[in-house]
Amino acid sequence: MLALICVGVVGALATWFSATAVIPELIAAWSLGPSEAAWLTNAVQLGFVVGAIGSSLVNLPDIVRLPVLMAGAACLAALANAALLAGASPAIAILARFVTGIALAGVYPPALKLLATWFRRGRGLALGFLIGALTLGSAMPHLVRAVTDGVAWQAVIAATSVSTLLSGVLFLLALREGPYGFGRATFDPRQCLRVFTDRPLWLANLGYFGHMWELYAMWAWLLAFVTAIDAAGVTPLPFGSPSMLAFVVVGSGVAGCLLGGWLSDRIGRCLTCIGMMTVSGACAFLIGFVFDGPSWLLAVVALVWGIAIIGDSAQFSAAVTELADQRFVGTALTLQLGIGFALTVVSIWIMPILAGLLGSWRWVFLALVPGPVIGALAMAALRRLPEATRLAGGAR
Whole-number pLDDT of residue 131: 86
Query: Residue 138 sits in a domain of what CATH number?
Result: 1.20.1250.20
**For a pLDDT cut of 70, what percent of the chain falls above it?**
92
Residues 6+ apart with CB under 8 A from 188: 59, 328
Backbone angles phi, psi at 19, to 5 degrees: -75, -35
Which residues form the domain of 214? Answer: 2-175+193-394
Does residue 181 lie in a domain region?
no
Does residue 122 lie in a domain region?
yes
- Residue 179: asked if its preceding bond is cis (omega within 30°), the reply is no
Q: At what angle do helices 2-13 and 154-174 cross, to 10 degrees?
A: 150
Is the separation of the CB atoms in 372 and 211 below 8 Å?
yes
pLDDT tens for residues 250-295?
Answer: 889 989 988 988 888 888 889 999 999 999 999 999 999 999 879 8
Does residue 182 lie in a domain region?
no
Q: At what angle do helices 108-116 and 329-358 cross, to 10 degrees?
A: 140
Weakest mean pLDDT among 37-46, 102-111, 192-201: 192-201
Backbone angles phi, psi at 293, to 5 degrees: 95, -175
**Interatomic CA distance for residues 230 and 147, integer angstroms:** 18
Confidence of residue 75 (pLDDT cuts 50, 70, 90): very high
Number of domains, the chain = 1
Whole-number pLDDT of residue 328: 66
Q: Which of 300, 12, 314, 302 is nearest to 138 (CA)?
A: 12
pLDDT tens for residues 178-209?
Answer: 887 765 544 455 555 666 677 888 899 999 99
Does residue 188 lie in a domain region?
no
**Interatomic CA distance for residues 18 and 80, integer angstroms:** 12
DSSP secondary structure of 179-220: SS--------GGGGGHHHH-HHHHHHHHHHHHHHHHHHHHHH
- Classified as helix, coil or strand, 150 is coil
Enumerate the H helices of the chain as residue ranges: 2-13, 23-30, 34-57, 66-82, 90-104, 108-116, 123-147, 154-174, 194-197, 199-232, 242-251, 253-264, 269-286, 295-311, 313-323, 329-358, 370-383
pLDDT tens for residues 52-72?
Answer: 878 877 777 777 788 999 999
Over range 8-14, report the average pLDDT: 93
First-to-final CA distance of the chain: 27
Is the separation of the CB atoms in 394 and 266 below 8 Å?
no
Does residue 185 lie in a domain region?
no
**Interatomic CA distance for residues 360 and 388, integer angstroms:** 43
Does residue 184 lie in a domain region?
no
Q: Which of 108, 147, 118, 123 is nearest to 261 (CA)?
A: 123
Is the separation of the CB atoms in 375 and 244 below 8 Å?
no
Over range 354-375, report the average pLDDT: 94
Whole-number pLDDT of residue 182: 61
Weakest mean pLDDT among 3-17, 133-147, 238-252, 328-342: 328-342
What does pTM read for this prediction? Answer: 0.78
Whole-number pLDDT of residue 184: 52
For the stretch 145-152, contacts whose Cβ atoms lie closer than 8 Å and that sit 24 or more positions apart, written own/partner, are: 145/21, 145/22, 145/243, 146/240, 146/241, 146/243, 146/244, 146/247, 149/241, 149/243
Confidence of residue 244 (pLDDT cuts 50, 70, 90): confident
Distances (CA, A) of 316 to 1, 118, 257: 22, 18, 12
Does residue 373 lie in a domain region?
yes
Whole-number pLDDT of residue 82: 93
Whole-number pLDDT of residue 187: 44
pLDDT tens for residues 315-347?
Answer: 888 888 888 766 667 677 777 878 888 888 899
Q: Which of 63, 100, 34, 336 is nearest to 210 (CA)?
A: 336
Q: Which of 238, 392, 245 is nearest to 323 (CA)?
A: 392
Whole-number pLDDT of residue 189: 55
Does residue 375 lie in a domain region?
yes
